[in-house]
Amino acid sequence: MDKEILPFEEIQSQIQAAYQAGDYTAALELAESHADRFPEQTPLLFYWRVCMHARLEQPSQAIRLLAEVLDSGLWYGEVLLRKSPSLKSLQGIDEFERLVAWNRELQSAAQAQRFPLLILRSEGGCQEKANPCPLLLGLHANMGIAQTSLPLWQPAASAGWLVAAPQSSQAMWKDAYGWDDLEIASQEVHHSYAALLDKFAVDRGRTVTAGHSMGGEVAIWLALSGTIPAAGFLAVGPSGPNMNQPESWQMWIDQAVQRQAGASGALRGCVIAGEADTSCSVDSCHTLVEMLNQAGIACRVVTIPGAGRDDYRLYQPAVLRELAGMLRPAPESSF
């Protein structure tokens, strides 16, 4: 009988379970035995292998693997190499420090050529002050880049929106950027927002923060916290520490309620969840939306049958429909 072929998500769960149980040998064997099957996961699998060798007090093997990664042109965020608990035992070892310096050079060279702010709009659109465009700020998922998120927002650009996709600078490794530090995320997105206001005709009262996965969680936070003066937020498959603990949103919900008291327009939101997206908790989405509605912030959950995390084509119609709904006058009942 052929051996069952497991998806990467299952292998990842097994490795994490072995690690949490302190069985570093089993975690290492799993990462090594599946390295060839998932070439697209090479940075993560190598990282796990380096960490497990370090945990097993095998520094020479860990350092050898890290050198192999860097020699291939891949690199890791220096914060990851410095702050990972699993790599604590390697800090200060001469050869490891040499590799960290080499890694820093590779990272610096790559980030010096970072993507500019990606912008989508109809040809010649969003230039006339008399006819400003609604603005969509679309944040990519963690472990991704702005370019990969563009298919989610493309329909909005075709419908007359000015779409901008900021690129995070928070690197996990090459071509894997995230939004974990909210202060840095706030500064970078706000910088992009200000640049857009200078360059294009933007209707400031029709700005929506949007995002995918962790980018979705940050999009919600940007709107609730007032970091971006948004009319609404749209989160596709939101995930992250706040979604894992929905009660943590209460502080920002309270801030949003206080800020919009007496304002001319009320904040609206929508959370889109794929039924096959294992990275997103539908229960947490409903909990957050219930909290928002109870506070008077109109929001709803839209579920997409059969949609996994990256099935962008399945999400596109809902994204366009919900964005259009946010710009219509709110009925007395609920959004």
Going along 179-329, which residue ranges are E strands? 202-212, 232-236, 268-274, 298-304
Instruction: State pLDDT tens for residues 44-97.
Output: 999 999 999 999 999 999 999 999 999 999 999 999 999 999 999 999 999 999
DSSP 286: H
Asked whether the beta carbons of 179 and 209 are under 8 A apart, the reply is no
Residue 89's Cβ-count burial label (10 Å; 0-12, 13-18, 19+) is: middle
Map out the domains of the chain as residue ranges: 8-111, 118-326
The answer to whether 209 and 231 are in contact (CB under 8 A) is: no
Q: What is the CA radius of gyration of the chain?
A: 22
Q: What is the pLDDT of residues 245-262, one digit of tens each?
A: 999 999 999 999 998 875
Residue 305 DSSP SS3: coil
Altogether, the residues listed in the chain come to a count of: 335
* pTM to 2 decimal places: 0.85
pLDDT along the chain (335 residues), means of 10: 69 93 96 90 94 97 96 93 96 97 92 79 88 95 91 93 94 90 94 95 94 97 95 96 95 92 78 94 96 95 95 96 78 43
Q: Under CATH, what is the fold of the domain 118-326?
A: Rossmann fold (3.40.50)
Tokens of 183: 């202060």
Calpha distance 95→250 (Å, rounded) = 47
